[in-house]
Amino acid sequence: MKKRIFLLVTVCTLLSSINVYSQERSFPVLSGPYLGQDPPGMKAELFDPPGLFNKNEGHGCSGFLNDGTVYLFTSMRRGTDWRLRPTYVTYLKDGRWTKPEIAPFSEYMPYNFTVGPGGQILYFTTLKSPDKTTSRLLEQANIWVTSLQENGWTEPIMLGRSINTNKYYENYPATALNGTIYYMSSRVGGYGRSDVYRSRNQDGKYGPPENLGPVINTSGSDQDPWIAPDESYLIVCQNKPGGLGKYDLYISFMKEDGSWTEMINMGPDVNSSEYEFRPYVTPDGKYLFFTSNRSEDGSIYWIDARIIESLKPDGIK
């Protein structure tokens, strides 16, 4: 009985978020790359296509797939359970972006996601139990994967136990072209409340987790790692002393010997006095997107990805 009650509450919560778009009048005409928005320069700008986002909601992750013709984002009404935020998707069809609709895999309750470097695979985090017979939410998060095919989205599958645990959070997965996956975890043995780990892809299977060490990780919370497709740089959300705000985006560059440079604050053109998180670079490599609370709870910003090159230390190729 308790499971049925919880399932009913969960469905009602999702429906209350979903019906906002269905109640709207006509969706405005948005056409062209990046939903028709003028590209930003070297200072972060709000990404807010007319009519796309509901103003009474906060937004978290977003991402482009399929050569920029598919855009996904999470949206959540303020004051609701953050674990139940739905994921919306809009498609560029016949030169026009469609009205956002709930993503088919939202029954898995993904609350964080990133797009793989090829622009076809979506890695997401959920607290939902792997047991499909129950809607019970777990106390820890696991990483799942789905992909966009010609005939639609594949059935999501949970990654193996070389990455996921039965007790701790594994969150915000990001992958390199060689298949190595970077993610945050709250497992024991780290340097702080959460650390950045990676698992290398070895003949199609993920190897054991590797903590990236004290050059990357701090005694605080290290969150939302984003890895470049060629692993040349890593962006992490951190709250260490000396930053510009509550949580800032920092970047580290990989040296020729495979070690990492000291973390570099990405500066006031990216960060604010508030909370910057959920970073990713678009599959075409042109723009850095992230979420910030600087104006309201969870707004999406973007900036020319050349900001990354401008932060590269001398001696790094």
Please list the pLDDT of the chain residue by residue as tens digits (317 residues).
444 434 334 444 444 444 445 444 478 999 999 999 999 999 999 999 999 988 778 888 999 999 999 999 988 766 555 556 789 999 999 999 999 999 998 888 887 899 999 899 999 988 766 655 444 555 578 899 999 999 999 999 999 888 988 888 899 999 999 999 999 998 999 999 999 999 999 888 999 999 999 999 999 999 999 999 999 999 999 998 999 999 999 999 999 999 999 999 999 999 999 999 999 999 999 999 999 999 777 899 999 999 999 999 998 98
Give CA–CA dist 173/175, Å, rounded: 7
User: What is the reported pTM?
Assistant: 0.89
Q: How far apart are CA 92 and CA 221, in angstroms?
A: 37
In angstroms, the CA 91 to CA 70 distance is 5
Residue 277's nearest CA partner among 128, 140, 171, 198 is 171
For residue 124, which of 135, 134, 115, 133 has the smallest C-alpha distance?
115
Determine if residue 304 is left, alpha or beta; phi over 0 gives left, psi from -120 to 50 gives alpha, anything else beta.
beta
Q: Cα angle vertex 57, ends 55, 59, to 5°? A: 110
**By C-alpha distance, which of 240, 264, 269 is closest to 252?**
264
In order of start, what are the domains of the chain with their CATH numbers? Answer: 2-310 (2.120.10.30)
